[in-house]
């Protein structure tokens, strides 16, 4: 792929994006993040961006490229930018585009362990899926939103859980009641409420960088148990008492 694209050639722009998508999303290439960044900057500089959707697509490709390299924290700003565009430019998207985009951004926030924005994305995705008659997507996104709410401190959950009436209105009596039942029965595995702290995403980035550096230097020590022990140690230094799932399945699932 050329480092500089002929932005006057629409076919070349399209083929460049498809090439990046194929290599990053399907082949799991981890060495194309700078190409994506240069491509995005060039489109902006030369005023060749046709829609905000194009920018979101490139932001997510950048994230997935660095995530393929096991360095998701490097893509946090790109995912936040994609989320910001969705929130501030909704009038430029169709409802179908919003449904798809919110789902994709939610998946990225899951990798980044930002449950607040992930929850917001699934809430929006469910709404736009309902608006576009994509019933399965609407139901799946709402279920994920409810399960994410269980990861908040108990005092916050009641203000975040959808009401029974709103669920019945969206999904009908039977399905609405089943969804509401998810709010009444604690899941078998609940994440530590500390993850809903707005400071947690910044802290976990530092911890994940340290974890990668440590196990890159001590590869023979890597096991899931050792990884969780080291993660707990690093989080304790940051003031967070984190517990691995096999130690306390009722509190943490990470």
- pLDDT tens by residue, 151-189: 888 888 889 999 999 999 999 999 999 999 988 877 655
Separation of alpha carbons 28 and 68, rounded Å: 6
Domain ranges of the chain: 1-93, 95-187, 191-254
Region 230-245: mean pLDDT is 80
Structural tokens at position 241: 């008492």
Q: What is the DSSP letter of 182?
A: H
How high is the pLDDT of residue 188?
58
Convert the pLDDT of each residue in 52-103 to its tens digit: 999 999 999 999 999 999 888 899 999 999 999 999 999 999 999 999 999 9
What is the C-alpha separation between 141 and 179, in angstroms, rounded? 11
Mean pLDDT of the chain: 87
């Amino acid at each position: 792929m050329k480092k500089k694209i002929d932005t006057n050639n629409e076919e070349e722009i399209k083929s460049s994006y498809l090439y990046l998508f194929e290599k990053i999303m399907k082949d799991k290439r981890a060495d194309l993040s700078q190409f994506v960044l240069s491509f995005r900057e060039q489109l902006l500089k030369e005023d060749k961006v046709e829609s905000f959707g194009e920018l979101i697509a490139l932001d997510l490709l950048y994230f997935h490229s660095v995530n393929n390299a096991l360095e998701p924290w490097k893509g946090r700003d790109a995912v936040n930018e994609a989320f910001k565009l969705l929130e501030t430019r909704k009038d430029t998207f169709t409802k179908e585009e919003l449904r798809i985009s919110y789902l994709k951004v939610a998946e990225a926030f899951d990798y980044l362990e930002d449950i607040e924005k992930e929850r917001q994305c699934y809430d929006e995705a469910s709404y736009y899926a309902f608006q576009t008659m994509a019933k399965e997507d609407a139901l799946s996104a709402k279920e994920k939103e409810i399960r994410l709410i269980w990861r908040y401190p108990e005092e916050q959950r009641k203000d975040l859980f959808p009401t029974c009436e709103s669920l019945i209105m969206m999904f009908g009596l039977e399905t609405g009641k089943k969804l509401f039942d998810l709010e009444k029965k604690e899941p078998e595995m609940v994440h530590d409420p500390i993850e809903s702290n707005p400071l947690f995403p910044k802290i976990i980035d530092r911890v994940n960088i340290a974890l990668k550096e440590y196990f890159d230097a001590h590869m023979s020590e890597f096991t899931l148990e050792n990884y969780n022990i080291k993660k707990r140690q690093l989080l304790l230094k940051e003031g967070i008492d984190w517990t691995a799932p096999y130690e306390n399945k009722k509190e943490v699932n990470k």
